């Protein structure tokens, strides 16, 4: 199950009336939105949305029927078990060695504030601003220890560019931590704090 599907299921399964809906669906051969709404004391649109969402996930079967030439839908339970399983290996960021060869440094006049940790040997967080004048917003980016060590060794704006792997070696950060280092680099590049050599 992907995150989008899990979000739909989670949204509806967390409703106060979800259990009562499934009790109906387990005990009835099929049911319409109006019947369910009447039985549970809900607005028909609420019942319709719930049933349609469950049908879109394959939990219910939705069949169009006719009554006096007026079409409507009936819903039938398709499974006795609902399982939510998310494969996190599919959301893992895949990194190539080319990513670590990118050469970067701090961008001049970025307006960011690199805040030192208490020991003075790492950066604890970076403060960046977005917007202008009265709409200006401050964002504080907290860092892991390895990210802080990496940024402490980030070349200054007037210094030579270094590759990410060179900065990691200088900071004594292992390559097993590359995904979180690259995540910080991408975020700070997005805010214009880091520039890349073209």
Question: Which tens digits make up the pLDDT trace of 101-119?
Answer: 999 999 998 888 999 999 8
- Closest among 167, 164, 169, 166 to 186, alpha carbons compared: 164
Residue 95 has pLDDT above 70, yes or no: no
Contacts 24+ apart (CB under 8 A), 14-21: 15/50, 17/42, 17/46, 17/50, 18/50, 21/47, 21/50, 21/51
Q: Which helix (H) or strand (E) holds 10?
A: helix 3-13
**Distance between CA 171 and CA 135 in Å, rounded?**
37
Task: Please state the rounded mean pLDDT for residues 120-139.
Answer: 84
Beta strand 162-163 pairing with 70-77: unpaired
Tell me: the pLDDT tens digits for 32-72? 999 999 999 999 999 999 999 999 999 999 999 987 778 88
Compute how many other C-beta atoms are within 10 angstroms of the C-beta atom of residue 28.
16
- For the chain, what are the domain ranges? 3-77, 93-196
* Domain at 3-77: CATH code: 1.10.10.10
Per the prediction, the chain carries an average pLDDT of: 90
pLDDT of residue 137: 84
- 142 versus 132: the higher-pLDDT residue is 142
Task: Please state the rounded mean pLDDT for residues 1-9.
Answer: 89
């Amino acid at each position: 199950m992907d995150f989008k599907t899990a979000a739909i299921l989670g949204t509806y399964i967390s409703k106060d009336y979800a259990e009562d809906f499934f009790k109906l669906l387990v005990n009835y051969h099929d049911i319409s939105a109006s019947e369910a709404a009447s039985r549970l004391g809900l607005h028909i649109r609420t019942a319709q949305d719930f049933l349609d969402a469950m049908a879109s996930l394959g939990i219910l079967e939705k069949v169009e029927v006719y009554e006096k030439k007026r079409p409507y839908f009936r819903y039938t339970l398709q499974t006795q078990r609902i399982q939510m399983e998310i494969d996190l290996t599919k959301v893992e960021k895949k990194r190539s060695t080319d990513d670590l060869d990118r050469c970067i440094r701090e961008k001049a006049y970025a307006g960011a504030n690199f805040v030192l940790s208490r020991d003075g040997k790492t950066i604890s967080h970076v403060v960046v601003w977005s917007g202008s004048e009265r709409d200006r917003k401050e964002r504080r980016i907290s860092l892991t220890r390895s990210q802080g060590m990496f940024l402490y060794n980030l070349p200054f704006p007037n210094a030579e560019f270094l590759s990410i792997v060179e900065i990691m070696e200088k900071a004594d950060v292992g390559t097993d931590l590359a995904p979180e280092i690259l995540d910080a680099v991408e975020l700070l590049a997005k805010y214009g704090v880091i520039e890349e050599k073209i």
